[in-house]
Chains A and B, each alone.
Chain A
Amino acid sequence: MKKLLNILIITSLLFFAASCSKKLDVLPQNYATADLIKSSSDVEALIFGGYTQLQDYGAFGQEFLMVPDLLASDSQLVWVGTYSQYKDIRNKKIVSSNSVVTHIWGNGYNAINIANTVLDKIILVDSSKKDLLEGEARFIRATIYFELVGLYGKPYADGNAATNLGVPLVLLPTYAYDAVKNKPARATVKEVYNLVIADLLIAINKLPEKNTDSRATSYSAKAILSRVYLNMGDYTNAALKANGIIDSAKFSLASTYDVAFNNNSNSPEDIFAVQQSTQSNAGGNSLATFYAPQALGRGDAQIDNNFKSIFDPNDFRVSFITEGYSISGANGIYTNKWALFYKAIPVARLAEMYLTRGEANLAAGTQVGALPLDDINFVRARSGAAALNSVTQIDFAAERFRELAFEGDRYWTKKRLQLNIDGLGFDDNKLILPIPQREMDANNNLKQNTGY
């Protein structure tokens, strides 16, 4: 009896232990493992993930618009909030450990890694979708690289693009960490621009003219490419690309200025916009968080009263503002462009294409599509601003400041036209972001920007 019991205890124990051993293999229940990315639709799901990175607050969800506007604040934008990382950007007192600077970089390369992964796995994709996914991957990669090189590198317009440092060019996906290979040095500004152009040209070819769910189209890629050319001073090509979009007649200006913003999906003039919904959005950090006054938002980003002085009194755009309070008690005025949460964020609007075509035609001495004066007046007319009788390139810049205010354009326009910003020369070291300190620490092949 005793013996039997002993044997029973020991055998059951051994049996139990053996069955437990298998229990050590626990699969994740909230994530997909890498081996599950194996079909055409899995790769498609990855590119959708790329759109999420565009929507992130580190990209078009917020920083690609707000950070350049803070850098080029120019008595237009005031930071009254307690977040010192934004206050420092506005005051050009950025430290390299600034969390915003780090996040833009990290989110950008996350998107790039997704694009690289899709391009690497394109072989898995059904032939009917191959072009589409490749086009989207190249569009996302190019768009991010273009924004990053503009924020972390000297402007193309300073003439030294071939030697100025841009950002590292990473064109292959990371599947495993390699402490040697995964430490790229910075490419030159020119090299980054070259990749951006090459990617966008392929994207224009591969992307369809129409796409579902506000995904990228060939026009989206053309719109970004027109910006790239404009920044390079390649006015002929900038005008051509902008004209291609206008001529397609796929887009039209929204009936009134206010209709172009705070929409649930693309407005008629959105060539590309980032979508948001109540359950998919840039999160607690978003344009509305900072640009909308209390109680909905924090109201940290206030418009300086000087902003009003750049408009005709009849211009509807000057009245597209609201009075309110910030969370730290300061009263002031706020733009209505980002007054609501969960709305689509225009990345490229048709109005910009008119201004680009007009300015590029003027600068290049060409007349692609229309006369420069007609283009600028067409945009002005929508908002009830008086028609101009003549136009210079500076007039186009001033119109961009009015039309595209608080959409992140001012920084780019000022730099490409070599205009001073907040009393600093367009090429001033303080007007670009530092390479994030944590990235400098993790990658000894990087060189910090001068002045940081």
Chain B
Amino acid sequence: MRKNSISIIVMLLWSIHSIFAQTKEITGKVTDAKDGTPIVGATVKAKGFNTSTATGQDGNFKISVDNKAQSLEISYIGFNRLVVQVTGKPIAVQLQQSDKSLTEVVVVGYGKALKKDVTGSISRLGSKDVENFPAPSFESSIQGKAPGVVVSSGSGKLGQAIQINIRGISSISASSQPLYVIDGLPATTGSMSDGTNDATNPLADINPNDIESVEILKDASSAAIYGARAANGVVLITTKKGKEGKKTILSLDLSHGISNPARKLSFLNAKQYVGLLEQSKINDATYDIANNVSGFATYADALDFYKNDPYSGYQRVLDQFSLGTDWKNGAVNSDWQKALFHKDAPTNQVNLSATGGNDKTRFFISGFYNTQDAIVINNKFSRYGTRFNIDHNASDKLIFGLNLAVNRSQLDRITNDDAFSTPGQLVAQLPISPFIDPSTGLPNKQTLYPSGIYDALYDFDKQVTFRTLGNAYANYKILPSLSFQTELGADILNLSQIAFAGKESQDGAGIGKGSTVITQSVSLNTNNYFTYSPTINDNNKLNVVAGMSYLQNNNEHTYAQGEKYPSDAVKNLAGATSITGASTTQDKYTFLSYFLRANYTLFGKFLFSVSDRIDGSSRFGPTSKYGNFPAVSAGWILSDENFLKNSNTLSFLKLRASYGLTGNSEIGEQQFRSLYSVANYPGLPGFTPTQLANPNLKWEKSKQTDIGLNFGFFKNRITGELDYYKKHTSDLLLNTNIPLTTGYATIYQNAGTLDNSGVEFAITSRNVDGRNFKWTTSFNIAYNKNKVGDINGQVIESNDGLQRAVQGYAVGSFYMQKFMGVDKQTGDALYLGKDGKNTSDYTLAVRQVVGKYTPNYTGGFTNTFSYKGLDLSAFFYFLTGNNIYNAAGRFMSDGFYNGFDNQTTDILKGWTKPGDITNVPRTGYNFGSGASNSSRWLYKGDYLRLKNVTFGYSLPKSLIAALNISSARFYVSGNNLLTFTKYPGDPEVNTNVVNNIAGGEDFYTIPQAKTFTFGLNIKF
């Protein structure tokens, strides 16, 4: 009611004003030219005057204008602006829907631009693409939508970091992740939780439903305005702004989903397991006799030994782990893989927002609450928060506003893939092991490896993050053509993590262990810039942006760990009677930047842009603190030329080219200095040298050329774009190995080069665009070739040594012994030897590049149909040319050589006797073959996945009107419904999330979720 009284006052004031100004009253109605439906909230303005109003519920308007007013200007988002003459009679206005391709606006660094005029390469996603997606973080929804942007969300665990590579991996030792800028504020994206577990994702603190658009700046010309931080591309996230309108629009989104694993591996059942053990015992005995290893007199003696020996015998495994159950007759047949999954894991999302305002003040407010259970046990993510975005016109000249989001998220974690206690490793347990110990009636703890189910009863790891993201701005129009914008933003992240392993669990080691981590990361950022856009004439348009920005991040990290708990009663560190470690560390970095950009348009069709940014950073030494990052680009809208203007087929064609320099400095702090760290030998506080100085350390540079075109056919029914790019990265910030005899292992040096080149293509066709039936098809595909240049012979490899950067190959090539099959006479695994011949001696096999984890082609294919209130869309994602290595193969598919782990079913095809033709070597705990890392477990990683199918129904207008709401839509959607791949497990896994060199490795990694969601969106 208060609002009403305000409007009454406003109206009163207006009427007083009109009395003095001699006004006339004009009425009219605004409708959609297409179907005659009234347009609600269209702006009606007296041309040349400050008077304006908005159309009401029925499209009608009434406006009092100055007597001198000649015409009215009517505008509405998505429609062409129309100017009508004032005649004195009621005016019927029919607005034409605008051609989106001409008016579409994209957010660029420090400003906005018409997509038509953009000379760089930018992919844009709207709110529809990112909202209501059944994943914690919005990046997942980019996958397959933006060509050249490869999104890998390592596993089906929740809250994990997500790796995004824009136009290939452009660094080896520095980060290859893009810069994320939220409403002008560079966001904290690095993992803040404890370093012993997987990296987590601070971007999950952003409510995807608050996002208006995501712009991905891919080429140098669009990204170079972010200079030294832009070599990996820039992701601009713009949150929803308040929209002026007579009515405040309330929007409610509700959804509920259930998730299950998208794909599983196939493991042996109890009968198969016992059978395979039996066969392996025979294999060992046969091998021993044949090669006279132990000198057994008879085959029977050998067989007896391998059956009953306490170390090498098979019998004890079955007796010990069946816990007295009758394994001979299959009394127990446990599917341990099933036990690691949380069946029908629920997801619930509630999102409520309100947007509205008038010509003075506009707001967007939202609140949300999500809970999500992972498909794996003990892993949960929940969050709630609110956002408040406001813009206020203080005067004709001054606008200020605030974007503020406050969130809390909680992640209940499981241990990393390498821990015995992680549920993913339950697959190693034996199918003859019962879930419940018959003697105690409790979960079985006498399993081959410590049971993750058992640990799950006693252990937890809970991290809570409070996140405040706020950015205030003021924009002052100094002259009509010159404005000054100042922004001050803060990204405050507080994380506290408590982990506990009870005495009973394996990780608790019988004494109980606990730890706590508290991290506070505070980024302060200010942007201050002038925008100069003089009106010269219609043929010459100029837009200049010049300014500076300063960013400071302080990160304070405190951790403590303790052990020896009296019981599980007190689970935080207050219960630990022995503190085994505690520390506080502080890190800080700063960036000071100056930037300039000028866009010039000649005759509306020749587009030029130059930009430059100078960045200074605390990350480099005094001689090389500053870097300079220029870029140029040009475009030509051919379709505006006379020779194409009248073409019926071609409606839009723009050629563009750009070239520029961007930088990378993401190597962490203080890498250029000599450092001594504190050593804590008991009683003797000391120093140890930890880092050698390289005072000349400087930015890593990427030079990128981009040539592209945007096209539209048949009145832009078919639109698309094509880009070719070449990115050459030099002065790589390489963490080079130096001889350990120096006392140091590595030193950061600017050495080596890396190349990425590729092609991106995207096309959208409105196949059918009828009044009732619509059908749109979108397709995009990107090709990238990544090649390591001269890196001075440096060997830079992953921690597990299975992947490395090798000159002439892609970063992250799999580098290992090449498996050549099985010797059909002996059953030995064969490898490619140094002499080019096959060898069964693993130590003589030569390590070589056998594959890579980065794809050649990635893309997406979407079909959207709508008929009256029904809508249906289907989205496929594909990726080819990559490999996946099952790093757990040497335990789960090794034929028992490395332990008695349950095996995948392909091992049933193992070699048993001379003449057998198979690809699975001889099994056996003692004399099995082929159990070391090799390309034996390297698979083609190509896949095609039906990522999403959504079916929606919107209530008809008659019903909506009766219910007194604006719109209502029900939908059901499915994610990861179908997968086509040659990889035996889930192809979308990566145990080393966010790493340039290590990728595409499966190590008991949790597969992606297949999710069904039921949802409802109502607008009031």
- Binary contact readout A95-124 vs B (1 if CB under 8 angstroms, 0 otherwise): 101010010011001101110110000000
Q: Which B residues touch A48, using CB under 8 A?
A: 679, 681, 684-687
Q: Which A residues touch B739, using CB under 8 A?
A: 182-184, 439, 442-443
- Binary contact readout A321-352 vs B (1 if CB under 8 angstroms, 0 otherwise): 00000011111100000000000000000000
- Binary contact readout B893-906 vs A (1 if CB under 8 angstroms, 0 otherwise): 00000111000000
Q: Quick one: given A24-B625, A30-B586, are A47 and B686 in contact (CB under 8 Å)?
A: yes
Q: Is the C-beta of B690 less than 8 angstroms from some C-beta in chain A?
A: yes
Interface stretch (choices A226-234, A276-284, A354-362, A371-379)? A276-284
Partner of B687, one of A13, A45, A304, A305: A45
Q: 26 A-B residue contacts at CB 8 Å?
A: A6-B478, A9-B484, A13-B548, A21-B592, A24-B590, A24-B625, A28-B673, A31-B677, A32-B687, A33-B673, A33-B675, A34-B676, A48-B684, A51-B684, A110-B744, A114-B689, A173-B743, A176-B693, A177-B747, A275-B682, A278-B579, A278-B580, A280-B681, A329-B321, A329-B900, A332-B311
Partner of B588, one of A26, A95, A175: A26
Interface stretch (choices B443-451, B727-735, B852-860, B963-971)? B443-451
Q: Which B residues touch A112, using CB under 8 A?
A: 743
- Binary contact readout B579-594 vs A (1 if CB under 8 angstroms, 0 otherwise): 1110001111110101
Q: Which B residues touch A173, using CB under 8 A?
A: 743
Contact (Cβ within 8 A) A52 B679? yes
Q: Quick one: given A9-B484, A82-B898, A295-B506, are A26 and B618 in contact (CB under 8 Å)?
A: yes
Contact (Cβ within 8 A) A106 B616? no
Shortest C-beta distance, A352 to chain B (Å), equals 23
Contact (Cβ within 8 A) A23 B674? no
In the complex, A36→B675 CA distance in Å?
10
Q: Quick one: given A24-B618, A30-B587, A328-B899, are A53 and B450 in contact (CB under 8 Å)?
A: no
In the complex, A251→B677 CA distance in Å?
35
- The chain B residue with its CB closest to the CB of A31 is B675
Contact (Cβ within 8 A) B687 A37? yes
Contacts beyond the supplied A44-B686, A294-B506: 18 A-B pairs with Cβ under 8 Å:
A9-B484, A24-B618, A32-B676, A34-B693, A48-B681, A49-B681, A84-B898, A95-B843, A110-B688, A113-B742, A177-B692, A275-B681, A275-B683, A276-B682, A278-B578, A294-B450, A331-B310, A442-B739
Q: Which A residues touch B449, using CB under 8 A?
A: 327-329
Q: Which B residues touch A215, using CB under 8 A?
A: 684
Contact (Cβ within 8 A) B795 A438? yes
Shortest C-beta distance, A178 to chain B (Å), equals 9
In the complex, A97→B799 CA distance in Å?
11
Contact (Cβ within 8 A) A84 B932? yes
Q: Is the C-beta of B801 less than 8 angstroms from some C-beta in chain A?
A: yes
Q: Which A residues touch B741, using CB under 8 A?
A: 109, 168, 170, 182, 184, 439, 443
In the complex, A327→B447 CA distance in Å?
10
Shortest C-beta distance, B23 to chain A (Å), equals 31
Within 8 A of B (CB), among A67-108: 78, 80, 82, 84, 93, 95, 97, 99, 102, 105-106
Q: Which B residues touch A62, using CB under 8 A?
A: none
Q: Is the C-beta of A174 less than 8 angstroms from some C-beta in chain B?
A: yes
In the complex, A400→B684 CA distance in Å?
33
Contact (Cβ within 8 A) A277 B682? yes
Contact (Cβ within 8 A) B743 A113? yes
Contact (Cβ within 8 A) B476 A32? no
- Binary contact readout B693-706 vs A (1 if CB under 8 angstroms, 0 otherwise): 11000000000000
Q: How many B residues face the partner with a CB closer than 8 A?
A: 85
CB within 8 Å of A: which residues of B?
310-311, 317, 320-321, 420, 447-450, 476, 478, 484, 506, 508-511, 526, 528, 548, 550, 552, 578-581, 585-590, 592, 594, 616-618, 625, 669-670, 673-694, 737-745, 747, 793-795, 801, 842-843, 890-891, 898-900, 932
Contact (Cβ within 8 A) B674 A33? yes
Q: Which B residues touch A279, using CB under 8 A?
A: 579-581, 680
Q: Which B residues touch A329, using CB under 8 A?
A: 317, 320-321, 447-449, 900
Contact (Cβ within 8 A) B738 A36? no
Contact (Cβ within 8 A) A78 B681? no
Shortest C-beta distance, B488 to chain A (Å), equals 11
Shortest C-beta distance, A11 to chain B (Å), equals 12
Q: Which B residues touch A49, using CB under 8 A?
A: 676, 679, 681, 686-689
Shortest C-beta distance, A345 to chain B (Å), equals 12
In the complex, A214→B681 CA distance in Å?
11
Q: Which A residues touch B693, using CB under 8 A?
A: 34, 176
Which one of B320, B682, B686 has the highest number of Cβ atoms from chain A below 10 Å of its Cβ?
B682
Q: Which B residues touch A330, using CB under 8 A?
A: 311
Q: Quick one: given A114-B743, A215-B684, are A29 and B590 in contact (CB under 8 Å)?
A: no
Contact (Cβ within 8 A) A441 B795? yes
Q: Which B residues touch A78, using CB under 8 A?
A: 311
Partner of A109, one of B526, B677, B740, B793: B740
Q: Is the C-beta of A46 less than 8 angstroms from some C-beta in chain B?
A: yes
Contact (Cβ within 8 A) B679 A93? no
Q: Which 5 A-B pairs have the closest CB atoms?
A: A113-B743, A48-B686, A49-B688, A48-B684, A295-B510
Q: Is the C-beta of A55 less than 8 angstroms from some C-beta in chain B?
A: yes
Mostly helix, strand, loop or mixed at chain B's interface? mixed
Shortest C-beta distance, A16 to chain B (Å), equals 8
Q: Which A residues touch B745, using CB under 8 A?
A: 106
Q: Is the C-beta of A131 less than 8 angstroms from some C-beta in chain B?
A: no
Partner of A213, one of B448, B618, B682, B740: B682
Shortest C-beta distance, B141 to chain A (Å), equals 36
- Binary contact readout A425-452 vs B (1 if CB under 8 angstroms, 0 otherwise): 0000000000010110111000000000
Contact (Cβ within 8 A) B686 A5? no
Q: Is the C-beta of A388 less than 8 angstroms from some C-beta in chain B?
A: no
Shortest C-beta distance, A20 to chain B (Å), equals 5
In the complex, A30→B506 CA distance in Å?
33
Contact (Cβ within 8 A) B682 A327? no
Shortest C-beta distance, B934 to chain A (Å), equals 12
Q: Which A residues touch B320, using CB under 8 A?
A: 329, 331
Contact (Cβ within 8 A) B420 A327? yes
In the complex, A75→B737 CA distance in Å?
38
Q: Which B residues touch A247, using CB under 8 A?
A: none
Contact (Cβ within 8 A) A26 B589? yes
Which one of B579, B625, B674 has the highest number of Cβ atoms from chain A below 10 Å of its Cβ?
B674
Q: Which A residues touch B744, using CB under 8 A?
A: 110, 113, 174, 177
Q: Which B residues touch A53, using CB under 8 A?
A: 688
Contact (Cβ within 8 A) B552 A442? no
- The chain B residue with its CB closest to the CB of A184 is B741
In the complex, A168→B563 CA distance in Å?
42
Contact (Cβ within 8 A) A436 B740? yes
- The chain B residue with its CB closest to the CB of A295 is B510
Contact (Cβ within 8 A) B592 A24? yes
Shortest C-beta distance, A315 to chain B (Å), equals 23
Q: Is the C-beta of A370 less than 8 angstroms from some C-beta in chain B?
A: no
Q: Which A residues touch B689, using CB under 8 A?
A: 49, 110, 113-114, 117
Q: Which A residues touch B682, using CB under 8 A?
A: 213, 275-277, 280
Contact (Cβ within 8 A) A295 B686? no
In the complex, A177→B508 CA distance in Å?
43
Q: Which B residues touch A442, using CB under 8 A?
A: 737-740, 795
Q: Which B residues touch A31, using CB under 8 A?
A: 670, 673, 675-678, 690-691
Q: Which A residues touch B579, using CB under 8 A?
A: 278-279
Partner of A296, one of B510, B581, B670, B687: B510
Contact (Cβ within 8 A) A28 B669? yes
Contact (Cβ within 8 A) A46 B673? no
- The chain B residue with its CB closest to the CB of A439 is B740
Q: Which A residues touch B550, using CB under 8 A?
A: 16-17, 20, 23
Q: Which B residues touch A25, using CB under 8 A?
A: 618
- The chain A residue with its CB closest to the CB of B674 is A34
Q: Is the C-beta of A147 less than 8 angstroms from some C-beta in chain B?
A: no
Q: Which A residues touch B669, using CB under 8 A?
A: 26, 28
- The chain A residue with its CB closest to the CB of B616 is A24
Q: Which B residues touch A37, using CB under 8 A?
A: 676, 687
Q: Quick one: given A82-B898, A174-B692, are A20 and B447 in contact (CB under 8 Å)?
A: no
